[in-house]
Amino acid sequence: MGIYHKLPALSKKSINRGQVRKAIEERFDISSDFHFYLAIESIIHIHPDFDAAVVKLFEKDQTARLFLLSTSSRKIWKSQLQARMEAAGVDQGRLHFLTDVDQKQETMLMRAADAVIASLHLTRPRASLQAFAAGVPVVTFPNELWASRITYGFYRQMGINDLIATSLDDYVALAVKLATDTAFHKRMAQLIKRNRSKFRPNFPKWRIRTIYTDI
């Protein structure tokens, strides 16, 4: 059985990147020189292995701020995640939660972020496709679990390998490079915009199946 995914239709831009960042700065009382990292999975999908990546990220980029997606109905998950990350050594002052974000807001956040990262072990197809539809690059680290290879599979379909990490350290390094190297970020965004048309109905289903399993 083959799998076919298509890019979602996005609403027209209503708020620009600068406005989103300004709102973030005011909402969380942070300085304008921060690097905006956005994880595109709900906190219920954040695996404990992700904690070590956050510690490494904060060590490597001293101005990094990580934003996670939360919901008001999952307060216990948020508390448990905060406690778990604190125990792992994550600086809680640089970890922020965006609550009850809808699809339009999520797209605006993706466009405003310096680096968008897929979580470890599980990625949602819709989240990655939403980013690609908006021309936003995503760092991913695939492993032996099929659910971790979603974004990887999409990149293979587009013929892009630059943001596929091969280790946890590589995952962090790519995220930091995406956030701090403006030319690299722009080049990745351009690559995605040029190749996202490959998500088309006549793309061979057998090829998509091969992309997901070839790792």
Domain membership of residue 190 (yes or no) is yes
The predicted pLDDT at position 208 comes to: 41
Pick the residue with more confidence: 84 or 123? Answer: 84
**Mean pLDDT taken over the chain:** 85
Full domain range(s) for residue 101: 17-213
Domain membership of residue 8 (yes or no) is no
The predicted pLDDT at position 103 comes to: 86
pTM over 0.75: yes
Domain membership of residue 12 (yes or no) is no
Share of the chain above pLDDT 90, in %: 53
The predicted pLDDT at position 31 comes to: 92
Domain membership of residue 2 (yes or no) is no
- Residues 24-63 as b or e (16 or more Cβ within 10 Å = b): bbeeeebeeebbbbbbbbbbebbeeebbebbbbbbeebee
- Tally of structural domains, the chain: 1
Is the pLDDT at 8 greater than 70? The verdict is no
Is the pLDDT at 3 greater than 80? The verdict is no
Here the CATH number for the domain that contains residue 107 is 3.40.50.2000
